[in-house]
Structure 1
Amino acid sequence: MTTPLEPPAPSGRPPAARPGRKLGPVLPNIGSAHRAWLDPMRGTYLASGMTLSELSTRLKFAKSKLSELLRGVGPYPRWEIVYLLAAELEIPNWPLYCLWKQAAFEARKTTDWIESSTERTPILTTAPTTPPLEHRAFRELVETNYALFAQAFLDDDQRDVALSDTFDILWLSWNDALASHDTRRFAWNVLRATVMSRTPHRDGRPELSRAAFDTVALQSLTEPADHINQVAESLELFTAMSRLPAHQLDVMVLRRLCGFLPDAVSALLGTSLATVRSDERHATRFLESVLCPPHPTEGNTP
């Protein structure tokens, strides 16, 4: 089970008023890879002030088809129409293409279909464009730390894909990220949504069991019996951690599994140091109540 990729928090800009019928919501059952590029495209369209009628006139596509594309309705869209719509909305096409191609494979499209879908656009004959300087600097600053967080939930291949998707989505949404209250918080929301969309879930909660085999405590043990006991304790801990609210879970993963100090966690999450400490305190109390419940008093024992 996967958690749908949620669009990043709004930048605070009021949506532009537009005449005509309101664009409907994205279908809830589209794949996470499809949603990874569709949500930023929808956000750019909604902020642009343009109407579907205007886009239809400019692109020579039926308004109904554009509406379906922006809602994830019908067959997976060919690159030509996505490319043309992106050009009208001034969306950088290289990260969009990377996400579109990945989603095409998720939609079970063949390599031949993908190649035929792109043959009439310049995307395959031109070098990738370069992301904004601020985006590249931000990526260099946080990528290693983002990878440590993702590693707690995903295997190496899935971790690398999630990181690539995160920075492509941020590239598509970079103006919104800069306009948001805190770019770090905006970016963390994108990372978290991307990681959770690929994380196995049980009963609606993310599974952390793979992290049990990467803890510092486990790696330092030498006796087989100690390994078994530590794995059992770790699995119990991570099962309990999965029940934490999202913001508390993030803090505990960064603090207890990744080994970050509170001020580093604050910088990564884009939240105050006081909030990080409060989240950790409440999470620790909850985990202690689950893993080490108080013994009943003698008078209450049946």
Structure 2
Amino acid sequence: MNDTSGTTSGGREALTFDAFCATHERAWLGFVRTQVGHRDGGPELVVAATKEHLRRNWALALRQEIPAAYAWRLLKEHLAAWRAAQAEPVAVQTVAIDAVIDHFRRQARISLETLPERIGLMTAILELPERQHDSVVLRYCLDLDEEQVADFLGTPVATLRSNLRHARRRLATAIGRPELAERQKGDQ
């Protein structure tokens, strides 16, 4: 008879954890980079701390209704802790800001003609309510599909779409181009 009581279960759990992390790590790292740039290896440190926390609590994560949403909350907690531990306030690098704006602009099909509009868009993204901010960054800056974003945020796809619609309206209004929000309605 084979004894599969301990090692197989532990091995399966480790494999599941590794696969889960491999599936989500690119988005975690990308999101943290949009928040802090590439400063001092911060994104890698935040993701490593999140993965370690998740590894220690993997059994708990698996009992969650949506494990990806549980991991997302851990990532946000570790990001906040890393920021708080910095001697100086963390400012996103200009290159990171430009990349985020350009990618968002293409994904959301928004044209920005002036530098003040570009700066206004980035400021407006940073000032969005947390759910809308996360939705915008994950969907338009990191190219995740709606189902992936909904899983990260632990919300139904319909709620995600609503968050994105409200965010686009806020962003269009913030840069003085409310017609962009109206045009987006027909694009969906």
- Shorter-normalised TM range: 0.5 to 0.7
Whether 1:192 aligns to 2:76 is: yes
Equivalent in the alignment of 2:106: none
Equivalent in the alignment of 2:99: 214
Stretches of structure 1 that go unaligned for 5 or more consecutive residues are 1-130, 201-205, 219-227, 295-302
Whether 1:165 aligns to 2:49 is: yes
Q: CA deviation at 1:208?
A: 5.4
Q: CA deviation at 1:166?
A: 0.6
Q: Deviations over 1:152-185 (max 9, x none)?
A: 0123310000110010111122122112221111
8 Å CA contact 1:209, 1:235 repeated in 2:
no
* Cα separation, 1, equivalents of 2:24 and 2:177: 38
RMSD: 2.7
Alignment partner for residue 264 of structure 1, among 148, 153, 162? 148
Q: Deviations over 1:207-261 (max 9, x none)?
A: 656432324738xxxxxxxxx945x433321211122111111001112222223
Q: Given the superposition, is the C-alpha separation of residues 159 and 287 from structure 1 closer, same or farther in structure 2, using an over 3 Å criterion? A: same
Equivalent in the alignment of 1:245: 129
8 Å CA contact 2:37, 2:92 repeated in 1:
no
Stretches of structure 2 that go unaligned for 5 or more consecutive residues are 1-12, 85-89, 104-112, 179-188
Secondary structure of 1:242 counterpart: helix
* Cα separation, 2, equivalents of 1:238 and 1:267: 25
Equivalent in the alignment of 1:88: none
**Percent identity between the aligned chains?**
26
* Cα separation, 1, equivalents of 2:62 and 2:141: 30
| 1:172 partner letter | R
Equivalent in the alignment of 1:150: 32
Q: Deviations over 1:254-288 (max 9, x none)?
A: 12222223233223333221111011011111222
More helix by share: 2
* Cα separation, 2, equivalents of 1:187 and 1:199: 18
Equivalent in the alignment of 1:141: 23
8 Å CA contact 2:36, 2:93 repeated in 1:
no
* Cα separation, 2, equivalents of 1:217 and 1:242: 15
Q: CA deviation at 1:138?
A: 0.6
* Cα separation, 2, equivalents of 1:170 and 1:233: 39
Q: Given the superposition, is the C-alpha separation of residues 217 and 241 from structure 1 closer, same or farther in structure 2, using an over 3 Å criterion? A: closer
8 Å CA contact 1:240, 1:290 repeated in 2:
yes
Larger Rg: 1
* Cα separation, 2, equivalents of 1:255 and 1:135: 24
Q: Given the superposition, is the C-alpha separation of residues 245 and 209 from structure 1 closer, same or farther in structure 2, using an over 3 Å criterion? A: farther
Equivalent in the alignment of 2:182: none
* Cα separation, 1, equivalents of 2:177 and 2:23: 41
8 Å CA contact 1:208, 1:239 repeated in 2:
no
Secondary structure of 1:239 counterpart: helix
Equivalent in the alignment of 2:5: none
Whether 1:176 aligns to 2:65 is: no
Q: Given the superposition, is the C-alpha separation of residues 234 and 277 from structure 1 closer, same or farther in structure 2, using an over 3 Å criterion? A: same
8 Å CA contact 1:158, 1:198 repeated in 2:
yes
Query: Aligned residues, how many?
Result: 149
8 Å CA contact 1:185, 1:269 repeated in 2:
yes
